[in-house]
A and B are shown apart, each in its own frame.
Chain A
Amino acid sequence: MQRKQRLSRNTAYFVPYTLWILLFVIAPVLLLIYQSFFNIDGQFTLGNYQTYFSSSTYLMMTVNSVWYAFLITLATLLISYPTAYLLNETKHPQLWLLLIIMPTWINLLLKAYAFIGIFSQAGIANQFLSFMGIGPKQLLFTKFSFIFVAAYIQIPFMVLPIYNSISELKPSYINASRDLGATNWQTFSRVIFPLTLPGVKAGIQAVFIPSLSLFMLTRLIGGNKVITLGTAIEEHFLTTMNWGMGSTIGVVLIVAMVIIMWLTGGSGKRHTRKGLTK
């Protein structure tokens, strides 16, 4: 009885948190969906969805956006998996991991800004290319630079979950596989990789979804050559003021997010994004 009373009294503490869920989690999402049924003049309509699904511009943009997010995720994965694997073999993995995560504590905009200098016409990257005899090239405002910078920014968020799952791997599995005569490649492809798949999936979740919405990079680095779903939403909300259409694209983005979650299984954990929390 006394315990029960304690519990019910404690629920009073719960009020601000519940209010937060209602006001800042449920209400905004419902409002976004609601808003997606209004056109720019404030009339209720299904037109936004109709426009979206019948316009080749919007559909191409969606396909492009997903394609770029895929390329960014792939590039990040290819760099991060070996990194995470080798990290695990070093003497002080925790320290190295901290060093990998450190750059995420530097403001994202500052890192993007750094690449404006590096990739610019007379920047250090072009000086290097000239030195190598290739000659200066247009680097900034290309699709390549967009993918490069996006992958650069996402690397730590991919390394961390993969590292976590590799460090949990029991060495006895690897030893057993070797004892049974597996080659290095077989051990990797049949034992190590499948066992670290949860980490890879968590990494993909942590990278793919933000990559769909990196609107500041498309502007600063991509020179508006790449339009992602995020760019389109920002454009509709803050420039053309067509909130209805923006919300419609938002709903599409939410659906894309749910599909990714479903494909990679389980609920995403963005707290892997800020490292160190584990």
Chain B
Amino acid sequence: MTQRRFKWRNLYLWLVFIVLYAPIIFLVVYSFSKGDTMTNFHGFTWAHYQDLFADSRLIAIFLDTLLIALLSSLLATTIGTLGALGINNTTRPVTKNTILALNNILMVSPDVIIGASFLIFFTALKIPLGFGSVLLSHIAFSIPIVVLMVLPKIQEMSTSLLDAAADLGANNWQLLSQVIVPYIMPGIFSGFFMALTYSLDDFAVTFFVTGNGFTTLSVEIYSRARQGINLEINALSGLMFLMALVLVIGYYFINQYSSRHRSNVRGRRK
């Protein structure tokens, strides 16, 4: 009896998985189809991938997207980590909570609001829309996630470690670079990673602040998808699926590493 119920349960889970993955698999399968539509599979071909690699405009957009993602997450990680260190140093709980609340505003706001308000902001400051405005926005919405990933690591660190280093004559810079940063590295890594995926995934905010001359992949896919089906997008999604897989596996290993690292530290303490 229980055996049978067990199977029903698994069936439900499988169903959810099939629904979750079906559209993605569907896209990838049709990226190999000879036809022009996503209705009938017309036999295997690499043609759409060849088109994709010959499409220099799309490759340029892809590289721009990657550049924005890497630059924005590097800068966001730096600013966010320093911010988390600062938050950790605040002594009054009121100040700390206020800063954390402000930090969370961009986390909970709908993308449309972030996009629209940034557009007003850039226009008010007369910052031209394009690469710069997109980069600035991506840095801005990635910072809070970095703070949220790094802060717990800092709070986990015992103050005696810092006191010991200070007693041994370490100056501020040495404290930061030799003690604090190595200790919170796993948090910094995951912050960087999350910032990277936020940036690669963003559509709505970029759509608002991108202006005419500059595009990222999401915006480009949107404008192409509005024109109808184009199997080059399927090929693109095949590649992006691969990239997502690599990212997830990478993230998984970082997580594994940091949890192993943690248990090692704990083991040594014992």
Interface size class of chain A, counting residues whose CB lies under 8 Å from the partner chain: 35 or more
CB-CB nearest in chain B for A211 = B110
Q: How far is the CA of A253 from the CA of B59 in the complex (A)?
A: 37
| Majority SS at the chain B contact face | helix
Contact B27 A17 (CB under 8 A): no
Of residues 85 through 117 on chain B, the ones whose CB sits less than 8 Å from some CB of chain A are 85-86, 89, 91, 99, 101-117
Contact A110 B221 (CB under 8 A): yes
Name the residue in A9, A32, A98 with the highest tally of chain B Cβ atoms < 10 Å from its Cβ.
A32
Contact B106 A25 (CB under 8 A): yes
Q: How far is the CA of A146 from the CA of B112 in the complex (A)?
A: 18
Residues in A neighbouring B208, C-beta threshold 8 A: 234, 237-238
Q: How far is the CA of A5 from the CA of B228 in the complex (A)?
A: 63
Residues in B neighbouring A187, C-beta threshold 8 A: none
Interface 0/1 of B1-30, CB less than 8 Å to A: 000000001101100110111111011001
Q: How far is the CA of A1 from the CA of B251 in the complex (A)?
A: 42
Report the count of interface residues on B (CB-CB < 8 A).
93
Of residues 123 through 174 on chain A, the ones whose CB sits less than 8 Å from some CB of chain B are 123-124, 127, 152, 155-156
Name the residue in B19, B115, B245 with the highest tally of chain A Cβ atoms < 10 Å from its Cβ.
B115
The answer to the question of A213 belonging to the interface, with a C-beta cut-off of 8 Å to chain B, is yes
| Majority SS at the chain A contact face | helix
The answer to the question of B185 belonging to the interface, with a C-beta cut-off of 8 Å to chain A, is no
Q: Contacting chain A: which of B49-57, B66-74, B76-84, B262-270?
A: B76-84
The answer to the question of A96 belonging to the interface, with a C-beta cut-off of 8 Å to chain B, is yes
CB-CB nearest in chain A for B101 = A267
Contact B172 A10 (CB under 8 A): yes
CB-CB nearest in chain B for A124 = B26
Contact A118 B121 (CB under 8 A): no
A26 with B102, Cβ < 8 A, contacts A230-B110, A257-B110 known = yes
The answer to the question of A100 belonging to the interface, with a C-beta cut-off of 8 Å to chain B, is yes
Q: How far is the CA of A162 from the CA of B230 in the complex (A)?
A: 38
A212 with B24, Cβ < 8 A, contacts A86-B9, A109-B222, A120-B38 known = no
The answer to the question of A116 belonging to the interface, with a C-beta cut-off of 8 Å to chain B, is yes
A274 with B197, Cβ < 8 A, contacts A155-B16, A237-B119 known = yes
Q: Contacting chain B: which of A48-56, A175-183, A192-200, A243-251?
A: A243-251
CB-CB nearest in chain B for A271 = B148
Q: How far is the CA of A111 from the CA of B225 in the complex (A)?
A: 11
Name the residue in B39, B147, B175 with the highest tally of chain A Cβ atoms < 10 Å from its Cβ.
B39
Name the residue in B110, B121, B222, B229 with the highest tally of chain A Cβ atoms < 10 Å from its Cβ.
B110
B12 CB → nearest A CB, Å = 6
Knowing that A10-B89, A100-B20, A111-B24 touch, tell me 6 more A-B residue pairs with CB under 8 angstroms.
A26-B102, A28-B118, A31-B121, A215-B204, A253-B110, A270-B107
Give the top 8 A-B pairs by smallest Cβ distance, nearest first: A17-B83, A117-B38, A14-B86, A28-B117, A114-B23, A213-B110, A24-B140, A105-B244
21 A-B Cβ contacts within 8 A? Answer: A10-B85, A13-B82, A13-B176, A17-B147, A24-B136, A25-B105, A79-B16, A100-B16, A106-B241, A107-B201, A110-B27, A110-B233, A112-B225, A117-B39, A118-B22, A122-B37, A123-B39, A257-B110, A271-B145, A274-B197, A277-B145
